[in-house]
Amino acid sequence: MIKPHGSEQLNPLYVSDSAARAALAEEAEKLPSMLLNTAAAANAVMLGAGYFNPLDGFMNLANAMSTAEKMQTVDGLFWPVPILNRTDDIEAIQGAERIALRDPNVEGQPVLAVQTVVAIEEVSDEQLNAMTEQVFGTLDPEHPGVATFGARGQYIVSGPIQVLNYSYFRNEFPDTFRTAGEIRDEIAQRGWETVVAFQTRNPMHRAHEELCKMAKEAVDADGVLIHMLLGKLKPGDIPADVRDAAIRKMVELYFPENTVMVTGYGFDMLYAGPREAVLHAVFRQNCGCTHLIVGRDHAGVGDYYGAFDAQTIFHNEVPDGSLDIAIFEADHTAYSRKLNKVVMMRDAPDHDKDDFVLLSGTKVREMLAAGQDLPPEFARPEVAKILMEHYQNA
């Protein structure tokens, strides 16, 4: 198993000692409070769970600008995107040395973490635009990630944090949410050395299933980590509980026993394309994975990124030695009518479009909502049944 990013040992920011956690919770009730936005709350969960190792909290403006521009902090740590706590309202926390960070996603807004305030800095429109363009590659307000990032506030509150809980993820997804440390522990318990990670925010169809099998065979891996995003998505994306059920059914029926771990993590989708692919690599390394599948338009949205930009960034912009995890570069996969199996399109140069079973996301949703069976070459029938029930009840 490979070591975490930036350190010899994983350093999750969750306060695991129950007595220390109770004392911190008691202290938090007496501190000035700040209600987090959903992005900052997700960052806190990822920091608590060890996915953002070796960061000790939220970045200041200098580190945010440096990370956005050069993919490294001022001190030289490789990091692909700013990890921020932003707000428009600093009245209640001005002058405070420590503050309670409250969860916007849980009823009653309980304390999620306690932050030691190192600085409160105002970010200019020019600085915000520079960060946005460097991370997302565009300033188009129609881009869902750009729109979200632009609305998070003009003030950056930086400093280390201590995390009290994992927001709603542990309660709502008890069988799926796992910290980076828990995943490392399970990999060790299974005796796996080489592990391929598959990132998903969608249900897995036949092409995704076969891609995982192809990657596992290609790198001679002991197992596959199917790691699904459990946080906020854009409107129209399939809810996490439905994806979870569909993926588990596929693994149960179509993968050999003890070759797949189905897990999830508590983060919001950025839709930042290439930069987000690099972030995905960082926190899969923190999970102990040796390889990450990066496919066509990984973490993309619309037509903002080239089909393979999320792969070429690892060659053109990530300095050698920055990461220990390796990238398995995948092409679009689809069922070949000629060969009667799922293939990567690059491996079938004699095919044209009609030789593949291809369905757009829109067409899939329309068929499921209408109660029409998806082609078995496209989706396993047991998976399609779960998705159809969701769309017909929506």
Among 190, 201, 248, 365, which one carries the catalytic annotation?
Answer: 201
HSE value, Cβ hemisphere, 13 Å, CA-based, for 113: 30
In order of 114, 118, 196, the CA distances from 104 in angstroms are 15, 23, 34
Backbone angles phi, psi at 22, to 5 degrees: -65, -40
Per the omega criterion (within 30 degrees of 0), is the bond before 274 cis? no
Backbone angles phi, psi at 294, to 5 degrees: -120, 115
Residue 201 annotated as catalytic: yes
Nearest to 335 by CA among 376, 307, 365, 384: 376
Tell me how far apart the alpha carbons of residues 321 and 324 are, in angstroms, rounded to a whole number.
7
Nearest to 65 by CA among 117, 128, 120: 128
CB 345 within 8 A of CB 357: no
Among 98, 202, 248, 365, which one carries the catalytic annotation?
Answer: 202
Q: Where are the alpha helices (DSSP H) in the chain?
A: 18-28, 38-48, 61-70, 125-136, 144-150, 169-172, 180-190, 206-218, 240-254, 274-286, 309-316, 361-369, 381-393
Residue 60 annotated as catalytic: no
Bridge partners, residue 199, by sequence: 227
- Residues designated as active site: 201-202
